[in-house]
Amino acid sequence: MDGILSLALANLTSPLILSFVLGFVAALARSDLTFPEAAAKALSLYLLFAIGFKGGVSVSDHGVDGSLGLALLAGVVLSFLLPIIGFPVLRTISGLDRTNAAVVAAHYGSISIVTFVAGTSVLESQGIASEGYMVAVAAAMEAPAILSALWLISRGEGDRRMDAELWREILLNGSIVLLIGSFFIGMITGQDGLREIESFIVSPFKGALCIFLLDMGLIAGRGLRGRGGGLSLGVVAFGIIMPLIGASLGAGTGVLLGLTTGGVMLMMVLCASASYIAVPAAMRVAVPEADAGIYLTLSLAITFPFNLALGLPIYLAVAKALTGA
């Protein structure tokens, strides 16, 4: 308990979190501080490339064993399952209609790569290793949840809106392709490749992440100011309860798979985090009648900050306890 608290405190006073807080506060105070869209996009591509590459290098260091396959499978299953678990919870505590509830739940089966990146960053500053292939698990968990949401909706209405085209779009969306692609580049080029571009993707990484989190804070704050008032208490509660449910399942799975402390923590982070890029884009197309104000705001302005500030230290402490580290 004491460990969690001191960890939480260290986390809360890290430049990463403080940068997020700065953005958040600036937005709530209605400052005109904004980040150019192109710069934010470029920064996110940089983070994806770097995290994928480093994951690949780490796999090339330790070799691939059966656990990679198992972890991927577990990730896909969890991504399918989490919305189905979340859906009745959300319906019960919020009273959202079937469509909106299904769409919101889908976000929690998928993942937030920035939360994942922040998680690896916490591990790094504590000198805790983790399975490099967790990056691949992250990529694998992006999409399945979408299917669960559509199944939940169709049970009520009996129609489907997913065409082949939309599937292609989701599975080949930029984040997934870049993450997997750079993972493979890292795996192929290994330490030699890393040495060549280390001072681009390793040393400035944390600073770049600060700037990115500053922008995320701005977006989350603006979201909360714009729509936050409109979120019912039940919905907001879900945005905090669901990560904890997800993290518990992730913890169990991680331990069953025999992952390291770092690996268990990252699995928890993946399950606890909610998508705000891939799933919203797919939902806009497939379920236009769902209210984007609910799902985007909840995922960005409630769950993301919760995970960043409180979730990460909790998940790490639990992972440590479970793996006896």
Partner 1 sequence: MQTHDAKRVAIIIEAPMEKRLTRALDQADVTGYSILDVKGGSGRSGRWSGAGHIGSANGMVQVVCIIRPEKLDGLLESVFSVVDKHIGVVSVSDCQVLRAERF
- Catalog residues that contact partner 1 under the rule CB under 8 A: 32, 34-37, 40-41, 44, 165, 169, 215, 218-219, 222, 226-227, 276-278, 280-285, 288-289, 291-293, 296
Of 27 and 268, nearer to Na ion (C-beta) is: 268
Q: What, of Na ion, a copy of itself, partner 1, none, does residue 285 touch, CB below 5 to 8 Å by kind?
A: partner 1
Binder of a copy of itself out of 7, 8, 11, 19 (CB under 8 A): 19
Cα separation of 319 and 131, whole Å?
14
User: What six digits make up the tokens of 323?
Assistant: 């793996």
Pick the closest to residue 54 from 175, 211, 200, 171 (CA basis).
200
Rounded Cα distance between 302 and 130, Å, is 27
State yes or no: residue 286 binds a copy of itself (CB under 8 A): no
**Measuring CA to CA, which residue among 34, 70, 154 is closest to residue 106?**
154
- Containing 153, the helix (H) or strand (E) segment is helix 144-157
- Distance from C-alpha of 233 to C-alpha of 240, rounded to nearest angstrom: 11
Closest distance of CB 322 from partner 1, Å? 33
Residues 300 and 304: their CA atoms lie apart, in Å, by 5
CB of 54 to partner 1, least distance (A): 21
Give the other-Cβ count within 10 Å of 11's Cβ: 22
- Site string (190-229) toward a copy of itself, x via CB under 8 A: ---x--xxxxxx-xxxxxx-xx--x---------------
Nearer to partner 1, 206 or 227 (CB): 227
CA atoms of 153 and 250, how far apart (whole Å): 25
Q: Please report, as ranges, the residues that interact with Na ion according to CB under 5 A.
A: 111, 271, 273
Q: Please report, as ranges, the residues that interact with a copy of itself according to CB under 8 A.
A: 13-15, 18-19, 22, 25-26, 29-39, 41-42, 45-46, 49, 53, 125, 168-169, 172-174, 177-178, 181-182, 184-185, 188-189, 193, 196-201, 203-208, 210-211, 214
